[in-house]
């Protein structure tokens, strides 16, 4: 009886020693302002993954862990090793443009300490007011657009041309742009058989709305 008991304990210990320890990955880095290089605190850094569980692939990203940057713009998180097909970082903070990046599994799992730094673009707003103040007739035409917008997302400005026709054309639009930057505007006016091209620029302050009156 005693022999059977000791044999059982030995088998249990053997199985315990053979059990693979779960590997833990430490992920850390820094988030800074792309234009000024200043560190940004309070940024939410989220890590998602497409999981493979019991041989079944989930094509949707599932959140694994969240972290926030400190006063020096640094963040850190830990995740357990798992079967995944892709990792995704999501970076977000009010008054900044959200950012996402896919990271290969082999890159993140190449070391138990993975470093990933990010830059974010602060947002500004432009209120563009376009008005025909010297009308000739209903054939008056203006074509205007921004030329150097490099951000995308909800309510963002774009480089797409807008056409206004008529003697009473009067349009106003507010949209998001990158801050700490000169935004270039170009427009062409056609009136009374003549065509004139104009250009101008405006500087965007972080978190502020710049009003530009384009009167033609």
Cβ neighbour number for residue 114 with a 10 Å cutoff: 17
Please give the CATH number for the structural domain made up of 123-215.
2.60.40
State the fold for domain 22-120. Immunoglobulin-like (2.60.40)
Bridge partners for 48 per DSSP: 63, 88
Length of the chain measured in residues: 216
Q: Write down the pLDDT at residue 104.
A: 93
Alpha carbons 41 and 120: distance in angstroms, whole number: 11
Integer-rounded Cα Rg, in Å, for the chain is 28
Specify the pLDDT at position 119. 98
pLDDT tens per residue across all 216 residues of the chain: 544 544 444 444 444 455 567 889 999 999 999 989 999 999 999 999 999 988 898 899 999 999 999 999 999 999 998 899 999 999 999 999 999 999 999 999 988 999 999 999 999 999 999 999 999 999 999 999 999 998 888 899 999 999 999 999 999 999 999 999 999 999 999 999 999 999 999 999 999 999 999 999
* Domain residue limits, the chain: 22-120, 123-215
Distance CA 193, CA 7 (A): 103
6 contacts: CB under 8 Å, gap ≥ 6: none
pTM: 0.77
State the DSSP code for 107.
Answer: H
How many other CB atoms sit within 10 Å of the CB of residue 203? 11
Is 22-120's fold the same as 123-215's? yes
How far apart are alpha carbons 33 and 119 in whole angstroms? 5
């Amino acid at each position: 009886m005693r022999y059977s008991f000791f044999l059982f304990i030995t088998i249990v210990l053997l199985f315990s020693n053979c059990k693979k320890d779960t590997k833990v990955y430490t992920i850390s880095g820094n988030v800074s302002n792309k234009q000024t290089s200043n560190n940004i605190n309070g940024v939410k850094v989220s890590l998602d993954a497409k999981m493979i569980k019991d041989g079944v692939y989930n094509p949707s990203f599932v959140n694994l862990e969240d972290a926030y940057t400190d006063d020096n713009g640094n963040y850190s998180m830990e995740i357990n090793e798992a079967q995944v097909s892709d990792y995704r970082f999501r970076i977000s903070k009010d008054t900044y443009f959200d950012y996402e990046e896919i990271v290969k599994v082999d890159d993140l799992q190449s070391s138990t300490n993975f470093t990933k730094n990010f830059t974010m673009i602060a947002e500004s707003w432009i209120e563009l007011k376009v008005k025909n103040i010297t009308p000739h007739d209903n054939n008056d035409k203006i074509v205007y657009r921004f030329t150097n917008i490099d951000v995308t997302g909800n309510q963002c400005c774009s480089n797409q041309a807008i056409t206004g026709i008529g003697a009473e054309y009067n349009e106003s639009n507010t949209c998001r742009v990158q801050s700490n930057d000169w935004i270039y505007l170009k427009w062409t006016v056609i009136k009374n058989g003549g065509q004139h091209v104009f250009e101008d620029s405006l500087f965007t302050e972080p978190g502020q709305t710049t009003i530009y009156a384009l009167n033609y």
